[in-house]
């Protein structure tokens, strides 16, 4: 078994004052269970982690209740199928990230603005990669890991336009107005989502942050369902009519190329 006695992550990266000890210990337990054997006994887990058996038992009970751990046929502990699904989702996202990076670099390098890769989640659209261009005006309000609501900005509204589940969730939940250009009524959003599907992209002009505009388009996966979005965002004054046409074309071409790379069906 691998040594997992230390906390996940290094102390140089995370302020120790922010640690939740039980979470770190739970992560260590999960790492042991993912070490290769089909099942582990309570004693084996305690020995591998250096955590007392009583504490390990409480952690395992909590992980079982959450659905991440289950008992095996030999009455040992093992990871559940739910953890396998999470691993597959993580693998898929990182694969998308690697495939998307060349397109993000190309967009940012050509236009000088910031290019973004977003993937959907239960909480909102998550920024999983971004590449900044040479423009001195940066989108400082959006960083890696930022979760954006689905009724604003480029990538999130594209996801809502193409995904029925996301769209219904947006239309049935309270919506925050961020600027005077934020659409919050059901009628306005339904019109916006229909227009996005018809156009194949969205130009979001200062609906999340004043002075910031973004162009986004969808990327599709092997089944033809929406997989992620690519976006190019920057200072709103840089998205005038002439330049906007070039940005839209470039973003859509990047999305089409990435969709093809991910095995999406050819568009009809």
Q: What is the pLDDT of residues 126-139, one digit of tens each?
A: 999 999 998 877 77
| pLDDT per position as a tens digit, 44-64 | 999 999 999 999 999 999 999
Classified as helix, coil or strand, 220 is: strand
Is the pLDDT reported for residue 257 higher than 50?
A: yes
- What integer pLDDT is reported at residue 115 of this predicted model? 97
Q: How far apart are CA 114 and CA 153, in angstroms?
A: 14
- What integer pLDDT is reported at residue 141 of this predicted model? 77
Cβ atoms of 110 and 118 closer than 8 Å: no
Q: Which one-letter DSSP state was computed for residue 40?
A: B
Q: Read off the pLDDT of each residue in 24-31 and give the average, rounded to a whole number.
A: 90
Edge-to-edge order in the sheet of strand 212-220:
147-148, 125-131, 114-120, 226-235, 212-220, 202-205
Cβ atoms of 27 and 51 closer than 8 Å: no
Question: String of b and e for 103-137 (b: at least 16 CB within 10 Å)?
Answer: bbebbbeebbbbbbbbbbeeebbbbbbbbebeeeb
Q: Read off the pLDDT of each residue in 91-99 and give the average, rounded to a whole number.
A: 79
Backbone phi, then psi, for 253, in 5-degree steps? -65, -40
Is the pLDDT reported for residue 252 higher than 70?
A: yes
CA gyration radius, the chain: 22
Is the pLDDT reported for residue 5 higher than 70?
A: no
- What integer pLDDT is reported at residue 85 of this predicted model? 76
Cβ atoms of 233 and 207 closer than 8 Å: no
Average pLDDT, the chain: 88
pLDDT band at 1 (very low <50, low <70, confident <90, very high): very low
- What integer pLDDT is reported at residue 102 of this predicted model? 97
Domains along the sequence of the chain with CATH: 16-79 (1.10.10.10), 89-261 (3.30.450.40)
| pLDDT per position as a tens digit, 141-185 | 788 888 999 999 999 999 999 999 999 999 999 999 999 999 999
pLDDT band at 18 (very low <50, low <70, confident <90, very high): low
pLDDT band at 83 (very low <50, low <70, confident <90, very high): confident
pLDDT band at 104 (very low <50, low <70, confident <90, very high): very high
Please report, to the nearest 10 degrees, the dihedral formed by the alpha carbons of residues 31, 37, 41, 43 taken in order.
-60
* Lowest-confidence segment of 13-17, 83-87, 94-98, 147-151 by average pLDDT: 13-17
């Amino acid at each position: 078994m691998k040594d997992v006695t230390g906390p996940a992550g290094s102390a140089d990266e995370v302020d120790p004052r922010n640690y939740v000890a039980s979470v770190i210990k739970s992560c260590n337990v999960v790492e042991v269970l993912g070490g290769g054997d089909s099942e582990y006994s309570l004693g084996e887990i305690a020995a591998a982690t250096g955590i007392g058996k009583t504490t390990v038992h409480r952690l395992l009970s909590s992980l079982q209740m959450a659905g991440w751990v289950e008992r095996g046929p030999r009455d040992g502990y093992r990871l559940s199928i739910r953890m396998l699904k999470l691993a597959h989702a993580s693998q898929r996202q990182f694969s998308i990230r690697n495939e998307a990076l060349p397109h993000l670099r190309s967009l940012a390098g050509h236009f000088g603005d910031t290019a973004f890769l977003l993937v959907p989640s239960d909480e909102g659209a998550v920024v999983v990669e971004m590449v900044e261009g040479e423009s001195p005006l940066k989108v400082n309000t959006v960083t890696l890991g930022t979760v954006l609501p689905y009724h604003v900005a480029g990538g999130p509204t594209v996801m809502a336009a193409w995904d029925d589940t996301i769209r219904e969730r947006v239309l049935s939940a309270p919506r925050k107005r961020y600027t005077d250009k934020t659409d919050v009524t059901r009628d306005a959003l339904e019109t916006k989502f229909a227009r996005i599907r018809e156009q194949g992209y969205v130009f979001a002009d200062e609906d999340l942050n004043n002075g910031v505009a973004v162009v986004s388009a969808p990327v599709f996966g092997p089944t033809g369902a929406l997989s992620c979005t690519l976006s190019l965002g920057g200072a709103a004054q840089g998205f005038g009519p002439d330049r906007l046409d070039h940005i839209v074309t470039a973003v859509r071409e990047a999305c089409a190329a990435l969709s093809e790379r991910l095995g999406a069906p050819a568009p009809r």
